[in-house]
Amino acid sequence: MSGYFFTFEGGEGAGKSTQINIVGEFLKQKGYEVVVTREPGGTTGSEAIRYVLLSGNAQKMGRCFEAVLFAAARIDHINEVIAPALKQGKIVLCDRFIDSTRVYQGDEKDNNRCKLELLEKTAIVGYMPDITFILDLPAKIGMARADKRREKTVTVDRFEKDDLAVQEARRQAFLEIAAAEPERCRVINANRNIDEIAKDIEQITLNFLKRKNDAGN
Ligand code: T5A
């Protein structure tokens, strides 16, 4: 038996963590076994890499170096958390995955696209998400939400420091991925209240699971 793999993507403060927790609880109440996890992170080794990346310590080594670190964290995360959970028939909900690498570590001129594609294939060994929810909202609103959330924590991470134009370009890059892969990606208007967004995601998730159930897999 194999489970299902849903990822949540979008810019800073788009509401991914908020929605993943709501949908996770919703699915548990429906009787599904659910694993909620995140990238970079999800294992001891990957959380250590997360610290190196988000503190900005790897920034001076360049985008390629950072991309390799994200991929290394992903390999460990897949081996230790995602693959075992899917093999046990669980639903895995992951906060960020391959699309974040494509968007954040890709450069504006797509110079390193081939390298990133190769790195992605090597890291995920076929573990593609069944559905990717792309939470879309203007970068300015997302950054304001992230600023508000941060009041409860402490520091701005390496990628949150990038200016509004960079954050808005990332939003467009996520939308381009969604347009290129409509089977996998669902764009969710995240510029609404939390409950409205959750209802959409829950409906899409239930429809998917029903289709799979009806098809006998
Ligand atoms: N990264 C990651 C890469 O560069 N490459 C990669 O391959 C990967 C995997 C991760 C960073 O690493 C980069 C991208 C990131 O910069 P992170 O801390 O995990 O760092 O960053 P985010 O995922 O961006 O986390 P955020 O917390 O900033 O964003 P979320 O999870 O999208 O937002 P959330 O749910 O925490 O909400 C933020 C605030 O808004 C409120 C929440 O209550 C919270 O206070 N909120 C809403 N307010 C109004 N209306 C709504 N609908 C709301 N939804 C949430």
Q: How far apart are CA 52 and CA 48, in angstroms?
A: 7
Annotated binding site for ATP: 10-17
Residue in 12, 136, 121, 115 with CA at minimum distance from that of residue 66: 115
Q: How far apart are CA 32 and CA 25, in angstroms?
A: 10
Tens digit of pLDDT per residue, the chain (217 long)? 599 999 999 999 999 999 999 999 999 999 999 999 999 999 999 999 999 999 999 999 999 999 999 999 999 999 999 999 999 999 999 999 999 999 999 976 667 777 899 999 999 999 999 999 999 999 999 999 988 877 656 577 888 888 999 999 999 999 999 999 999 999 999 999 999 999 999 999 999 999 999 998 6
Q: How far apart are CA 156 and CA 135, in angstroms?
A: 21
| DSSP 8-state code for residue 60 | G
Q: Token pair 């075992």 is at which residue?
A: 84
Q: How far apart are CA 87 and CA 10, in angstroms?
A: 27
- What would you measure as the largest C-alpha separation in the chain, in angstroms? 51
**Amino acid 112: pLDDT:** 74
Residues found in the chain: 217
Return the bridge partners of 35, or none.
92
Q: Identify the CATH homologous superfamily for domain 4-214.
A: P-loop containing nucleotide triphosphate hydrolases (3.40.50.300)
Domain boundary assignment for the chain: 4-214
Nearest-CA residue for atom 29 of ligand 1: 13
Burial class (CB in 10 A: 0-12, 13-18, 19+), 175: middle
Distance 211 CA to ligand 1 centre (A): 30
pTM comes to: 0.96
Cβ atoms of 7 and 99 closer than 8 Å: yes
Residue in 11, 9, 7 with CA at minimum distance from that of residue 169: 11
| HSE-CB of 15 using CA atoms within 13 angstroms | 22
Q: What angle do CA 66, 70, 73 make, to 5 degrees?
A: 135
Nearest-CA residue for atom 47 of ligand 1: 15
Cβ atoms of 10 and 134 closer than 8 Å: yes
Question: What six digits make up the tokens of 187?
Answer: 């764009």
Q: How far apart are CA 171 and CA 183, in angstroms?
A: 19
Distance 14 CA to ligand 1 centre (A): 6
Binding pocket residue ranges, ligand 1, CB within 6 Å: 10, 12-18, 38-40, 54, 70, 95-96, 100-101, 104-105, 145-146, 148-149, 157, 159-160, 193-194, 197
**Amino acid 57: pLDDT:** 93
Q: How far apart are CA 94 and CA 80, in angstroms?
A: 14
